[in-house]
Structure 1
Amino acid sequence: MTLPYAEVIGDPIAHSKSPIIHNFWLKKLGIKADYRKTLVPPDGLEIWLDERRADPLWRGANLTIPHKEKILPLVDDPEGLATSVGAMNIIVPHGAKRPSGHNSDISGFAEPLNNIMLKGKTAAVYGAGGAARAILVALRNIGIAHVTILNRSEDRAWGLLKELGIKGNVLPLFAPLPAVALVVNSTALGMAGYDPLNPDLSGLPSEAIIYDIVYAPLETALLVEAAGRGLRTLDGLNMLIGQAATAFMLFFGAEAPRDHDFELRALLTA
């Protein structure tokens, strides 16, 4: 029997844990469907999209590097993401119409921060790519007063702050960290196959939070160093699971069974 399916696309894609999450939820809910991962190179996005639009079993896709920004001109934008965020991580089909794009990275990133008093405080964000865009919008939404972006291209980072209307500053990627309340790594640094991110955390206040969205490996050098200093840490599964829950509803029309998060995290870290 051929099943309805959704997928995650990117390049690289072998490391993705999204199929584990979605297929875990599908099994828990008894939904007859599948979720898979598909390698789509940067120059193959339009061909892939044309093929999927012709497939009646396709329920949509999550997008990761390098497609979150490249997808913008190819789909409808009901939420105005092209101007408000500049990136999409979900697309879903709409019959004969073009697929529509969505962004669950914003709510997924913010989920573990929602009960922490960060309004009026400061943050530092490593990176200025597609993931950083969603993270900056989330920080703006929760009331962060000032953001320092550390990035290889300082011009790109300044442009991002201006575009999103966020008060902040820009520093070179490996400049010393300012004494902020929240540090976020939105880059691939620390991911398997990439150089680690090892900033000096000694100048941070004792209540600072270190949030690394990398999840392969789950314990990055940044988080290990932060934990060793007694700082609060948040790993990449927080954002991954949070954003996946929104996507799951869009793909399969059902609420993700979040009461099984503990079991899911154990599966993802096995």
Structure 2
Amino acid sequence: MKRILMSGAMALVLSAPTYADGHLDGETVLATVNGEAITIGHLIAMRQMLPAEYQTLPDQVLFDGMLEQLIQQQVLAEAAEAGELSREIELGLENERRAFLAAMFMDDVAMAELSEDDLQAEYDAIYGEAEPVVEYNAAHILLETEEEAQSMIDQLAEGADFAELAAENSTGPSGPNGGALGWFGAGMMVPEFEEAVFGLEVGEVSAPVQTQFGWHVVLLNETREQAPPTLEDVAAELEDSLRRARVDARLEELTQAAEIERPEVEIDPAVIRDQGLIAE
């Protein structure tokens, strides 16, 4: 479809033939190339394989572009088949056929209907016993030395404003914003910083905290409990997970049932670059 927007192709507008009663089906012929039919079915199958960015094009644009593309492909394919096909082309065709059939089969597996019970069971397995997650809202002043950090703490004890000190002294990117870090949960900050935050009471300022970034003075503003997401919130994510699991399970089942032999042959992996092995 790289040439679907080609100006010459877009100029072609063909109307699909109909039966006497106006009925169309997948076998309705749109064009013939040296006697080889191109049908509505060919266009439908082609559209299903288009990248997402083409799927949103107007139907008329897609219809005209795909039909012209198929006509051109048929002309070129016939020219290629006029002579003896090289082994390289035969191997490429085998790979394309294998890949296409595999993709279509696994797509059917993945897209089989999912029931509400399936989604509910997956949700219960993941979130059914999940406890609310504690989140923290904190600010910090990042400094180069412990002495500087202690100086900030002393000034705060004397009534200095935390946000003003952060804006004037912090070397971190949050400094201009008063040192505000927003909301975060466990695992989102470096361990030493988290340990200090988790040990504070709301409104309390930490002792100097050293991390790989320097020395921090931390203020815990508030905490909250974040409840697990609802089924509605994560339905799309769960559906994707279930579909991937179906594919993995079916692939594993088929692979286990297949007779697969791997001859013990010593091969230099660089052989995949030797085009001469398939040239004729």
- What TM-score results when the alignment is normalised by the length of structure 1? 0.23
Q: Which has the higher strand share?
A: 1
- What TM-score results when the alignment is normalised by the length of structure 2? 0.22
Q: Which has the higher helix share?
A: 2
Larger Rg: 2
